[in-house]
């Protein structure tokens, strides 16, 4: 695939040489208004400030069971074994994530178009949207490994060519999230700062970063500084709840050494007005199953 260099001026330079800096965000977090969807004005204002919103009981108990059974089916599907969209744990070889899952599973394709999901994505981004990335994450008891502190937008900007942080993620819990089973940690308000990262992007970096990300992560000093400024919240709650969070917010999770698994459906929506360009800090874009390049709006 040949790409034309259509990049705009880069407001978020990263993968630099020298000392990384903390840059102010120059774009909004919430692009829509109360009139544009189901989220009320107070919640939108809180999302603008904190960078995330929790929606309790997005899915019913019955729906949670249905989607959980779908995750079990996908992880044991012999036809998917060896598929590049299936990411395994570096140490155990067990399924860690399955990407492009809305193209693999008709059930999850329906969820993408569900008004409870789609209408919130459109409202937060103030436009029609498309799926930038979809996956299911498995974090089994005792063996599940976490994700180090990072901003998704840093990677999506550097390696996918996403111009601005006009994207939002929706993580839907299919198991109860406890403080002790590897729950997602998030720094409220950190989305207002873009933390540069140092170093060049290796060729085909995604092949290793999806298992254990080493490039495009902030330094320990940067994490310490951000935590001191913003503190750390944790997404906990019962299965069926959903966490909506800004693409630039600093987040991560620890290993799960408890007997209790933690699995979720992870959907990323990007504004059609924020379509991907050439990568800003990589030699070639990542595959479409990780970063969708078709900005056709989702329709019901």
Range of the domain at 97: 27-269
**In the prediction, which pLDDT does 147 show?**
83
Structural domain contains residue 69: yes
Rounded-to-10 torsion of CA 37, 40, 42, 45: -10
Per-residue model confidence as pLDDT tens digits over 246-264: 999 999 998 989 999 889 9
pLDDT exceeds cutoff 90 at 297: yes
Per-residue model confidence as pLDDT tens digits over 207-242: 666 655 667 889 999 999 999 999 999 999 899 999
Structural domain contains residue 120: yes
**In the prediction, which pLDDT does 1 show?**
42
- Considering only the C-alpha atoms of the chain, give the largest distance between any 2 of them, rounded to a whole number of Å: 52
pLDDT exceeds cutoff 70 at 10: yes
Q: How confident is the model at residue 3 (pLDDT cuts 50, 70, 90)?
A: very low
Q: How confident is the model at residue 5 (pLDDT cuts 50, 70, 90)?
A: very low
Structural domain contains residue 109: yes
**In the prediction, which pLDDT does 212 show?**
56
For residues 126 and 120, give the distance between their C-alpha atoms in angstroms, rounded to a whole number: 10
Structural domain contains residue 159: yes
Per-residue model confidence as pLDDT tens digits over 87-145: 887 777 788 899 999 999 999 999 999 999 999 999 999 999 999 999 999 887 888 87
Per-residue model confidence as pLDDT tens digits over 25-49: 999 999 999 999 999 999 999 999 9
Q: How confident is the model at residue 2 (pLDDT cuts 50, 70, 90)?
A: very low
Structural domain contains residue 293: no
Q: Considering only CA atoms, which of 46, 13, 4 is closest in space to residue 163?
A: 13
State the CATH number of the domain containing residue 250.
Answer: 2.60.120.620
Structural domain contains residue 217: yes
**In the prediction, which pLDDT does 211 show?**
54
Q: Do 56 and 237 meet the contact criterion of CB atoms below 8 Å apart?
A: yes
Q: Which residues contact 193 (CB under 8 A, 6 or more apart)?
A: 22, 23, 24, 25, 226
Rounded-to-10 torsion of CA 27, 250, 262, 144: 130
Greater confidence (74 vs 141) lies with: 74
Q: How many domains does the structure of the chain reveal?
A: 1
Mean of the per-residue pLDDT values of the chain: 92
pLDDT exceeds cutoff 90 at 276: yes
**In the prediction, which pLDDT does 216 show?**
84
**In the prediction, which pLDDT does 95 show?**
86
pLDDT mean over 4-10: 60
pLDDT mean over 276-282: 97
**In the prediction, which pLDDT does 221 show?**
96
Structural domain contains residue 291: no
Q: How confident is the model at residue 279 (pLDDT cuts 50, 70, 90)?
A: very high
Structural domain contains residue 287: no
Q: How confident is the model at residue 300 (pLDDT cuts 50, 70, 90)?
A: confident
């Amino acid at each position: 695939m040949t790409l034309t260099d259509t990049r705009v001026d880069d407001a978020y330079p990263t993968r630099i040489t020298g000392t990384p800096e903390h840059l102010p965000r120059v774009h909004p977090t919430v692009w829509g208004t109360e009139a544009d969807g189901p989220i009320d004005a107070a919640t939108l204002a809180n999302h603008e400030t904190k960078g995330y919103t929790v929606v309790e009981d997005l899915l019913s108990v019955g729906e949670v069971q249905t989607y959980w059974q779908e995750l079990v089916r996908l992880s044991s599907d012999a036809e998917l074994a060896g598929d590049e969209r299936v990411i395994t744990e570096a140490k155990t070889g067990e399924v860690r994530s399955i990407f492009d899952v809305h193209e693999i599973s008709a059930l999850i394709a329906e969820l993408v178009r569900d008004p409870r999901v789609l209408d919130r994505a459109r409202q937060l981004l103030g436009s029609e949207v498309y799926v930038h990335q979809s996956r299911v994450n498995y974090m089994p008891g005792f063996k599940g490994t976490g994700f180090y502190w990072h901003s998704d937008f840093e990677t999506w900007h550097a390696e996918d060519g996403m111009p601005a942080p006009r994207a939002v993620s929706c993580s839907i819990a299919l198991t109860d999230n406890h403080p002790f089973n590897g729950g997602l940690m998030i720094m409220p308000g950190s989305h207002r700062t873009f933390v540069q990262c140092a170093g060049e992007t290796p060729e085909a970096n995604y092949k290793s970063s999806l298992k254990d990300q080493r490039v495009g992560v902030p330094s320990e000093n940067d994490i310490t500084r951000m935590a001191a400024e913003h503190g750390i919240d944790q997404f906990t709650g019962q299965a069926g709840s959903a966490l909506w969070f800004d693409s630039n917010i600093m987040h991560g999770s620890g290993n799960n050494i408890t007997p209790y698994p933690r699995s979720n459906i992870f959907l990323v929506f990007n504004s059609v007005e924020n379509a991907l360009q050439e990568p800003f800090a990589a030699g070639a874009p990542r595959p479409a199953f990780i970063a969708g390049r078709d900005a056709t709006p989702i329709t019901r």
